Amino acid sequence: MSVVESIKSVLVPIHPEGKKFIAIFAIIGIGLWWLWSPLGFVGVILVLWCAYFFRNPDRYTPVREGLLVSPADGLVQLIATVPPPPELDMGTEPRVRISIFMNVFDVHVNRSPTDGTITRKVYTPGAFVNATLDKASEDNERMGIRLQTSTGKTIAFVQIAGLVARRILSFVEEGDSLQAGERFGLIRFGSRVDIYLDDGMVPMVAVGQRAIAGETVIADEQVNEVQRWAEIR
């Protein structure tokens, strides 16, 4: 591997949404340096962290029909059986919900869990309580997407703002077709994504496990097994 290839393997692309924030932090850093040179190091750290936050790496997505991959990087915080968000018009029957929490050091670009067509997209204003709390699914600002999968199933995924997050970005609209692993949105700066499974789908992840957006398989329509549990070892 050449030196250039080695550098490229370490450095990942920055999402365009992050460039203006990097510029802002750079200006702040210059101002801090001008006020007192040791403070300039704080500005450098802020710029580096901002670039790290908005990284936008490529992912290797499993493409077999029936697989659902994680829509977000982060910790599988909760797995519960609850009614889907009423604004998505999916009825009141409880569904399995997998909640993935993203801290400020995780990649915040969100990806489609599977191939399908967006049949509903709804923005709901709300609060900004800690996204690790169960009530965040109902109380917080969120962007919900209902997807008709290529196999005829209906799932939903919801971007939820957190205690620090103040902006949910969506790159898709109703009627758009998505491929598994395709980027559909981004959240700034620390948040959560919920995914609601269709009947018969069983989670293939466990609470406490870390997931990688576009890569970690979280459910498989072709597998019939009991819900998985995990132990710290």
112 belongs to the catalytic site: no
Radius of gyration of the chain (CA): 19
Give the whole-angstrom CA distance, residue 179 versus residue 111. Answer: 9
Q: Which of 70, 99, 112, 191 is catalytic?
A: 191
Residue 40 contacts residue 33 (beta carbons within 8 Å): yes
Residues contacting residue 2 through CB under 8 Å, at least 6 positions apart: none
CA distance 32 to 170: 34
Is residue 61 a contact partner of residue 212, using CB atoms and an 8 Å limit? no
Segment (H or E) for 187: strand 183-188
Measure the CA–CA gap between 35 and 101, rounded to whole angstroms. 38
Cα–Cα nearest to 64, from 221, 224, 198, 227: 221
By annotation, the residues acting in catalysis are 191
